[in-house]
Structure 1
Amino acid sequence: GLANATQIGQTYGAQVDTLGNLYFCDNYGRRIRVVPKADGSVPFAVKGTGETVVPAGASLKGRVYRVLGNGAAGEGTMGEKAYDAMIREPYNFHIDADGGLYLAEFGNNRIVYVATR
């Protein structure tokens, strides 16, 4: 949804891909999120309460998208769509050269790989 209307809590593992998109773990939301590159900057931050903070003079035009996780805590199953997966306490991740995403999932004590191609 719109960046200024997206609730986010306890973020970990921010990373920018080769296209300039910002990815991060939303631990409380049990999701991996992406903020697509629009103009080369991400003009907002998020407090620990999930409140979006916009610096004075900045406009918030971007969107925040869910990449992995449906928001429900659980172990999930292999083979399901990444968007619908249940994950617990996403902690960190890495995007490989092929665009695949490795997720360190603290709550389920596992590493999850999501192929994007």
Structure 2
Amino acid sequence: MRTVLILFTLLLVSCIKNEPDVVLINRSDIDYDSALIFVSEANQTVFRNVKIDSRHAGSIRFDTTVIGDGCYQLEVYNKGELKHQKCFGYYTNGASLNRSFEIEIQKDSVLIEMN
């Protein structure tokens, strides 16, 4: 029984990924200056020149000082003006509960698929 409990704990811990992958797709009719994805403003994932029909890939970086629970922040800018802002996903105790995200910017909304 003890072995089963240890294996279950290891399996559960291995499911947590600290820096989830992210794919950003611009399906709108606007070119954006930048898209920021972050847990804290001190450690951002930045995609620049997000053109129409472009696809960008990276990972969401964690600030090691983040303790507690929260959501990821997405901010999309055009000519320095904030156009889209969204809170998505979930992390707990500084660790992500998701392995990856696919973010699709549409004309009037932002769709996010979590894996």
The verdict on a shared fold, with TM-score over 0.5 as the criterion, is: no
| Structure with greater strand percent | 2
Q: TM-score, normalised by structure 2?
A: 0.32
Q: TM-score, normalised by structure 1?
A: 0.32
For CA contacts below 8 A with separation 6 or more, give which structure has more relative contact order: 2
Task: State the structure with more CA Rg.
Answer: 2
